[in-house]
Structure 1
Amino acid sequence: MSQGAAALPGDPPGGRRAVAVWGLGVGVYFVAIIFRTSLGVAGIDAAERFHINASALSTFSILQLLVYAGMQIPVGLMIDRLGTKKVLALGAVLFTAGQLAFALSHAYGTALASRALLGCGDAMTFISVLRLGARWFPARRGPMIAQVAALFGMAGNLVSTMVLARLLHGAGWTATFGGSAAAGVLVLLLTLLFLKDHPEGHEPPPTAHAAGGKGFVRRQVARAWREPGTRLGMWVHFTTQFPAMVFLLLWGMPFLVEAEGLPQETAGLLLTVVVLSNMAVGLVYGQIIARHHAARLPLALGTVGATALLWAAVAGWPGAHAPMWLLVTECVVLGACGPASMIGFDFARPANPPERQGTASGIVNMGGFIASITTLLAVGLLLDATGDDYRLAFCSVFVLEALGLSQILRLRTRAQRREQERVVASRVETVHVPAVSPGSTA
């Protein structure tokens, strides 16, 4: 990007303070991810604690993600109207209460309600962090900032797979889940004390707060949805995110232990491989997209193809157990799913003005979680119907990938044409902006 673009009026300056404030928001998201993925390492323990089968176990994650997905557009609207700090603080209250209640639950119904509460709070974090980054950093940093935020989220997943899993088998259910809730209290206090929505002199336009009225919600959602870039972003997120989400959130550990015959410690290490791969690939994807905007779609489609190939190789392996090298390779490839899903936001961001970014991000973020909910349910039902045949149950992934891929191919040309029109229009407007004085820096 040109230096002139870096100095466009209203572009936030970035800097150390921006990193500190944004880092605080990322910390809230980090804790939310620990709580969200904590059930992924406790699936077998949860089945024993609540005396439930595979379908009932999958209901935990399905309900949590259903609440999460259903909250995305309302949360986006809340961020557009109320600002980031209030929404992040409310999210921290809810997901901390949900984690604590889950720690104390002994009945299946109470535990379900706890995960729903946790999902509601979790839903308020990531879109808030995206908005925080957009308010504090220059637009050219957007792809990398988003990928780094997702990287820290995966670090929270790493805490679940490496720390909570060991604590669970050492300290027990209540101590592990209850003790982790203290982290939620900490980030809530830090948010209330130190987080700011935007730097001084970069307040959003008054209309972003005053645009209320009876039709505000309908207008925001309709205008965001009309943009092909928003819809393309949603389908990219839909198609890329869910294979790794399903694997990490619930079914990876039972599959590796019960179907592949691995010890729980080895299975936990393989889940860690997914997380580490995600973190490494996220940095690579962020750098590539920041330098080569046209690489967005090839990276997303390449990730979908590689995921399908490895998933098919494991599901169709002729022996009783897939070899370790293949399982490791699958986990490495699954690690690319998270970074690829972030590309969806890079299609929606340039398609919508700042006052609609929260709503558009909410629509995009719904995609992957709707796919995850559908697959979690399908795998649970198929496991019960086939006598725990994981390989057959996991074939449901291909149906969702085919659906998402067809929509990406349908929308890509329209979204690219619309984005080019916006670029041309912005250049025309820039011609009429008074030039900076010779002594100023651009």
Structure 2
Amino acid sequence: MDHVTALPAASPAPATGTWRAWLIWSIGVLAYVVAIVNRTSLSAVGVDTAERFHADASTLSMFAVIQLAVYGIMQIPVGLLLDRFGARPLIVVGMVLMSAGQLALAFADHVGLAIVARMLIGAGDAAIFPSALRLIALWFDEKRAPFLIQLTGILGQTGQIISVLPLAALLHATSWEVAFGSLSAVAALFAVLSLALIRNEPPGSTGGRKVVSALELGRGFRDSWAHPATRLGFWTHFTTPFAGTAFVLLWGFPFMTEGLGVSGPTASLVLTVYVLFGLVMGPIIGAISGRHPMRRTRLLALPIIGVQVAAWLAVILWPGAAPEWMLFVLAFALSVGGPGSMVAFDHARTYNPSHRLSTATGIVNVGGFFAALLAILLIGIALDLQGAGTPDTYTLAAFKIAFLTQVPLWALGSACIVIERRRARIHLGLDAPRERRRKPGRAR
């Protein structure tokens, strides 16, 4: 389903472009940048993490997997709470939770406490992006919203550069405690800024009909999931970004340095280029999405998935170690998954009424992080099963086999995208349902 014409049930946001609207959006975007820094703070220090906590590959995976699992599990409650209370309190609470998680991680001396810390970070992170999307929906008109959603996603990813370069440099120049304690302080600062500057909606606006009861909360979830456009958004978000998330969040740096034997600065450059490619491709993908609204799945989602599969298979099947230039090709292929996944939120925003907008957004957002945690976990398990579970035992051959575990996730997600696209187009009256064949001998 690629059709994104107006939805009668939705209440469009007022056409506000005041300085207050832009200030609130700016704080929301900066909060999202901080959330990304917190989310990816182990990306360039995976080897340091393994050594600090004496963790094998499966245990190292659990740091990211549990964090993403909490993020995914929290998406539905966050969406329901956003529809009930608005963005401001959710952003504040999210920042406080991330601050507490990073402070706990800074002084953790065993794996159990570190995992609890990552759970707090995942819970706090879960509130930020959906809240930013809600601020866009209520503070800006329908024409600006798609562009601002793309821009929010693009700018937020700059947080990955901070976690790859300055954070890693700070850790190696000072200590684990100083690096992660600094992240805790920044999150606490943004909790204060969000409380002081963010407002849920423009003056005089009701933000659409409010959800007021637990019964309505449950009905909102059921109605959101029942719409095939929401499910199409879920599977689009499930399939397009997970490979890039797994690569940047945990396994890319060890694969390049320990598996391929490239230098640390080169691996950091690849991860940085990944973010920069995403910054460049975001507006291009947004323009294509806006210009061809009825062909988003065929022009964007499915080709993006195909490019990622082809790039990974080229690296895996290359005899021996792939050349360094191919890592930059891989970074480009993975980078388009993030901007491409933003299309999923357009489905949720366009086809759900405002009082269940954040619930539908939460459902869609679950998809990508559920797939990412599966990918990260499967890669770690595959390494351990091959006896290559620690930095001392990592091998290129083991990494290549481990990364093949992503292929079933791409296959599942692509099949579901095709199925739900067809169902959504039928639901919207764009395609006719197929007639069921009658069995021979039945009365006509």
Task: Say whether the fold is shared (TM-score over 0.5).
Answer: yes
In the alignment, does 2:209 pair up with 1:171? no
> In 1, distance between residues paired with 2:265 and 2:345?
35
Partner of 1:414: 423
TM-score computed with the length of structure 1 as normaliser: 0.90
Cα 1:9/1:305, change in 2 over 3 Å: closer
Q: Deviations over 1:358-401 (max 9, x none)?
A: 10000000001110111111000000112330000000111100
> In 2, distance between residues paired with 1:415 and 1:144?
24
In the alignment, does 2:222 pair up with 1:222? yes
Q: Which amino acid aligns with 2:414?
A: L
In the alignment, does 2:271 pair up with 1:271? yes
Shift of residue 152, structure 1, vs aligned partner? 1.6
Partner of 1:426: none
Shift of residue 233, structure 1, vs aligned partner? 0.2
Greater Cα offset, 81-90 or 196-205: 196-205
Of the three residues 181, 185, 189, the one matched with 1:182 is 185
Q: Which amino acid aligns with 1:403?
A: L
Shift of residue 10, structure 1, vs aligned partner? 5.1
Greater Cα offset, 196-205 or 267-276: 196-205
Of the three residues 125, 128, 131, the one matched with 2:131 is 128
Q: Which amino acid aligns with 2:245?
A: M
Question: SS of 2:202's equivalent?
Answer: coil
Contact 1:29 1:129 (C-alpha < 8 Å) held by counterparts: yes
Q: Counterparts in 2 of 1:130-209, with a 5 A limit? A: 130-205=133-208, 207-209=209-211
Contact 2:39 2:121 (C-alpha < 8 Å) held by counterparts: yes
Partner of 2:321: 321
> In 2, distance between residues paired with 1:374 and 1:312?
19
> In 2, distance between residues paired with 1:14 and 1:387?
57
Partner of 2:308: 307
> In 2, distance between residues paired with 1:323 and 1:170?
30
Shift of residue 295, structure 1, vs aligned partner? 4.0
Q: Which amino acid aligns with 1:109?
A: G
> In 2, distance between residues paired with 1:257 and 1:179?
26
Partner of 1:333: 333
Q: Deviations over 1:97-136 (max 9, x none)?
A: 1011111111111111000011000000000001010011
Unaligned runs of 5+ residues in structure 2 are 389-397, 431-444
TM-score computed with the length of structure 2 as normaliser: 0.90
Contact 1:351 1:419 (C-alpha < 8 Å) held by counterparts: no
CA RMSD, 1 decimal: 1.7
Q: Which runs of 4+ in 1 moved over 4 A?
A: none
Contact 1:12 1:135 (C-alpha < 8 Å) held by counterparts: no
In the alignment, does 2:69 pair up with 1:60? no
> In 2, distance between residues paired with 1:265 and 1:153?
23
> In 2, distance between residues paired with 1:316 and 1:359?
42
Shift of residue 92, structure 1, vs aligned partner? 0.6
> In 1, distance between residues paired with 2:240 and 2:19?
33
Q: Which amino acid aligns with 1:71?
A: M
Question: SS of 1:139's equivalent?
Answer: coil
Q: Counterparts in 2 of 1:15-94, with a 5 A limit? A: 15-94=18-97
> In 2, distance between residues paired with 1:74 and 1:331?
33
Shift of residue 293, structure 1, vs aligned partner? 1.6
Contact 2:130 2:358 (C-alpha < 8 Å) held by counterparts: yes
Q: Which amino acid aligns with 1:170?
A: A
In the alignment, does 2:378 pair up with 1:378? yes
> In 1, distance between residues paired with 2:385 and 2:313?
21
Question: SS of 2:40's equivalent?
Answer: helix
> In 2, distance between residues paired with 1:141 and 1:187?
25
Shift of residue 420, structure 1, vs aligned partner? 5.8
> In 1, distance between residues paired with 2:287 and 2:29?
19
In the alignment, does 2:344 pair up with 1:350? no
Unaligned runs of 5+ residues in structure 1 are 422-442
Question: SS of 1:395's equivalent?
Answer: helix
Q: Which amino acid aligns with 1:208?
A: K
Q: Which amino acid aligns with 1:131?
A: R
Aligned-residue identity in percent: 42
Considering Cα pairs closer than 8 Å and 6+ residues apart, tell me whether 1 or 2 has the greater RCO.
2
Contact 2:91 2:128 (C-alpha < 8 Å) held by counterparts: yes
In the alignment, does 2:243 pair up with 1:243? yes
